[in-house]
Structure 1
Amino acid sequence: MRKVNKNLTQKPSSLSRPDLLDLLKKIEADKNLINTDIYRGKYKDEHTQIIREEVVEALEEIYHGKCAYCEQHTYTYIEHYRPKKRIINTHHGGYFWLCYEWSNLVPTCHECNKIGGGKGDKFPIKNKRSTYEDCLWEGKLDLQKCIANQPPLIDENPYLLHPEIDNPIDFLTFEIDSQYQGIALKGLDGHNERGEQTIEICNLNRKELLRKRQESVIYPILQNIKLAFGLLSNQKINTTQFQDLLFAEFEQLFQQVKELKLSFTLLRRTLIVSPSIFKSLVTAQLSDNQQEITQAFFESYFNSIHT
């Protein structure tokens, strides 16, 4: 998960229909009237006659084709951050009035959002849960009160991080999985708080993700560092050239943080927060005789760009 900038006032046209309040009023009486075509933004292109989905396309552009929660490239499923029909383990009937709310729609992969193994209809909160009546003004739905970062919704204090409101790097970090199956997320803000809860809600430490974080981000760095050591050991390069190779690898990592189209950008960014984090996730996976040298060069590079 990474911080995403979405303009909450510039909605796709299907979410700004003039009859939107009338549609939502009907849904109040029957949730089965929630129309997937509207919140996906389905329409026929007049020029090409191709069926397109403007909400899906807008979210794919904003999120670079990645899942809002796990940051893998994915087929885009529209996820309602606040579930639209029910909240499990509660008597709440779901936030049906938010079914077409732009700030409530994020793209996800199937695994992060599936019922049973992912988020599904989970939405635990710390404070009082909002109701339809809380979002009314003089008997009519107030669309300003339906925005995720505005009262009364923001006052619920949800456990699930919202990538457009919260900054995940304040709540999440990484560690080598205890079973050595890959790279795991862990919460920063305390036991059973928002970081840990987000991981649990979306199942963000499933085996597939542990492995892919290692293979996509950590493994290439390790391979290039080991290659440089091999060249030095075989006297194919000198010490200065060895340093240049390591510094080039570190530079590439720092540049990758800016490439938002890459998967797992939060992990890439976390690696460069401090030498100690780099040591725990990368250097620790090298052989004993390579660790001290690699860490010394990384700290030298890190200090050179922070002075």
Structure 2
Amino acid sequence: MRFVTKPDNHKTATLASQDTANALLDIATNMTKDDITDAIYRESYGNPDEKRSRVEDQLALSYYNKCAYCERLAKADIEHYRPKKKVVEDNTHNGYYWLCYEWTNLLPSCVKCNREGAKHSKFPILGIRVYTPSFLANAQLNLNHQRAENTPLLDEMPYLLHPEVDDPEAYFDFFNDPSGDGIRIRGIDAQNRGNETIGICLLNRQELRLERVENVINPFKQAAESAFAMLSIGIYDEDQFDQQIIFQLNQLMINAKNEKSTHTLLRKYIVKSHQNFSGIVLPYLSSPIQSIVLAAFKSI
């Protein structure tokens, strides 16, 4: 997960239209959840290769085709952050039906994070639950109260972190799985929102733990150990070897700043300090080069 700024002007023309505003007002006024249609919040269309979504296309501008929760490249579900028709934790809640077309409530989520035993209609909170929409004196919806970053929704204090509201760097760190089965993410905040988010979206499922290693660690490991092999057989001298290690470390740091990279949060964590780098990266390197690579990291 990474912090995302998603501009309002990325909304599709349909989501921004007066027809959609009128349809939403009817749903909110009459509490008619059955009138919610994916033709508006998804806008599916076909192309020669696959069925696609115009809303997904627009979300991809801010999320770079990645899942909002696990940061894998994935074909996204159009996920309602606040569930539109029911809330698992509260059977008296009718769902956040009035947010069905709200731009700040729509996120791209891979199937594994959104369905398959993960998030779906879960939405536990710390604060005060909002049960109904807010209306203005003229009976129109209060659109400011619809936005995820504003009260009263913000006052719910959801356990599930919102990548456009909450800065994930304040809620998570990483560590190597003790059994050698990849890299784990864990919550570090006092309110336990990080750990709850991990549980809701299954962010420590095996495929993710292994993919973090494959996508983030292994390219650096392979390059560093190839350089050491070249040194060992005399193709590189020590200066050339050192230059290659510095180059690969710089690439690691450049990729951590590239929002298009997968697993951005892990990349940022690794290069934030030599302690983080030592804890995550060094165990994957062969012992002869661990101290050399660490010294090079400290030097830059």
Q: Return the alpha-carbon distance in structure 2 between the equivalents of residues 148 and 240 of structure 1.
A: 53
User: Normalized against structure 2, the TM-score is what?
Assistant: 0.91
Report the more deviating stretch, 267-276 or 11-20: 11-20
1:84 deviates by 0.4
| Conserved? CA contact 1:283–1:291, under 8 Å | yes
Counterpart residue number, 2:109: 108
Residue by residue over 1:119-140, the C-alpha shift from the partner in whole angstroms, topping out at 9 and shown as x without a partner, is 011111100101214x222344
Counterpart residue number, 1:174: 174
Counterpart residue number, 2:273: 274
Q: Secondary structure at the match of 1:79?
A: strand
Residue by residue over 1:43-96, the C-alpha shift from the partner in whole angstroms, topping out at 9 and shown as x without a partner, is 799xxxxx9743221112221111111111111210000000111021212100
Residue by residue over 1:137-177, the C-alpha shift from the partner in whole angstroms, topping out at 9 and shown as x without a partner, is 23442111100001100111111111111111111121111
In the TM superposition, 1:1-307 aligns within 5 A as 1-8=1-8, 11-27=11-27, 28-42=30-44, 53-90=53-90, 91-115=92-116, 117-133=117-133, 135-138=134-137, 139-190=139-190, 193-301=192-300
Residue by residue over 1:161-218, the C-alpha shift from the partner in whole angstroms, topping out at 9 and shown as x without a partner, is 111111111111211112211111111214x611111111100110000111101110
Q: Return the alpha-carbon distance in structure 2 between the equivalents of residues 9 and 150 of structure 1.
A: 19
Q: Return the alpha-carbon distance in structure 2 between the equivalents of residues 272 and 6 of structure 1.
A: 26
Q: Return the alpha-carbon distance in structure 2 between the equivalents of residues 176 and 10 of structure 1.
A: 38
Q: Return the alpha-carbon distance in structure 1 between the equivalents of residues 186 and 247 of structure 2.
A: 29
Report the more deviating stretch, 204-213 or 33-42: 33-42
Q: Return the alpha-carbon distance in structure 1 between the equivalents of residues 223 and 131 of structure 2.
A: 54
How many residue pairs match? The answer is 295
Q: Please, which runs of 5 or more residues in structure 2 have no aligned partner?
A: none
Q: Return the alpha-carbon distance in structure 2 between the equivalents of residues 151 and 224 of structure 1.
A: 49
1:265 deviates by 1.5
| Conserved? CA contact 1:81–1:106, under 8 Å | yes
The percentage of counterpart residues that share the same residue type is: 40
1:42 deviates by 4.7
| Conserved? CA contact 1:70–1:204, under 8 Å | yes
Q: Please, which runs of 5 or more residues in structure 1 have no aligned partner?
A: 46-50, 302-307
User: Normalized against structure 1, the TM-score is what?
Assistant: 0.89
RMSD: 2.2
